[in-house]
Amino acid sequence: MNKLPSIKAVVAGTGAYLPEKVLSNFDLEKMLDTSDTWIRTRTGIQERRIAAKDECSSTMAAEAAKMALECANTEAQDIDLIIVATSTPDVIFPSTACFVQKEIGAGKAAAYDVSAVCSGFIYAMSIAEQYIKSGRYKNILIIGSEVNSRILDWTDRTTCILFGDGAGAAVLKGVEAERECGVLSSHIYSDGNQSHIISVPGGIGKTSVTHEAIDEKQYCIKMVGNTTFKMAVKKMVEVAKEALEFNGLSPEDIDWMVPHQANKRIIDSVAERLDFPEEKTFINIHKYGNTSGAAIPIALHEANSSGKMKAGDLVLITGLGAGLTWGAVVIRW
């Protein structure tokens, strides 16, 4: 008996935007008690991009979106939904997604943000997958965009060396197909008990913005580095194994793993525990640092546009962010 066609959520196009300004480790040596060797050895980062004064999450997201739309041969007015994953929105409200909708001319699209920090793009893809497979929407634009440089304490070498700015995007389309294609499954999790290990503790709705909190730099990223490292490796490995098992796959079946680009040692540890070869692990952290919710879509676009990922390849995405949040997605490219 022939299998009836079902709706698949297919990645039809990708895009990315990186600010022009490059901040190298040698630049940081002039600002902090650190060195290029120290940073590269512990993180794998050599440089990162910093947004210009007239750039923000929405402007970078719009540029990445335009590239993804062109790649997908899709008009902005045909987009049904825009989801922006960001922890550095332009303003508290309206959503950054609404600013993107206006900028790209996607007038009929619903638009909203998701806040899952470094896992944000995985969350956005999981949401988009459900909408498409249910038949509710046909064309969805998902974006990760961050201006981390605006929420860094540039005197804190434990955090400011890690992060950079940028945006990445993908167009997901609903396609009727009998064969296995597109997003095969998505798996997302959270643990609020671990919310303290990565956070921006300054209050808004809880305490209001205060001069004292600003002076204490509570609106900057705070991180318990060693705990974050251990949790990232543990949870990324667990959820990656779950995603593989769910689809009846083994690491040997995967053509490319695209992990969150937080720290080269985290990526290496995850690959080692999955017994996954380095040559099939896409890494670009050396160029951009940790761009939070933008890291995975930027990496996907680079892998896609470079020709490394080809039609039919099996791609495993995995990442962890503040919340804690973590997840994995398996895609037939």
Residues with active-site annotation:
118, 260, 290
Q: Where are the alpha helices (DSSP H) in the chain?
A: 25-29, 36-43, 57-71, 96-104, 120-133, 157-160, 211-215, 225-246, 264-273, 285-288, 295-305
Helix (H, G, I), strand (E, B) or coil at 61: helix
Residue 306 class from Cβ within 10 Å (0-12 exposed, 13-18 middle, 19+ buried)?
exposed
Distance CA 98, CA 109 (A): 9
Residue for token digits 């650190």? 34
Count other C-beta atoms under 10 Å from residue 76's C-beta: 21
Q: Quote the DSSP letter at residue 119.
A: G
User: Rounded to an integer, what distance in angstroms lies between the CA atom of residue 280 and that of residue 199?
Assistant: 32
Cis ω for the linkage preceding 324 (within 30 of 0): yes
Q: Which residue has the tokens 């609020």?
A: 192
Are 5 and 177 within 8 A, CB to CB? yes
Q: What is the DSSP letter of 310?
A: -
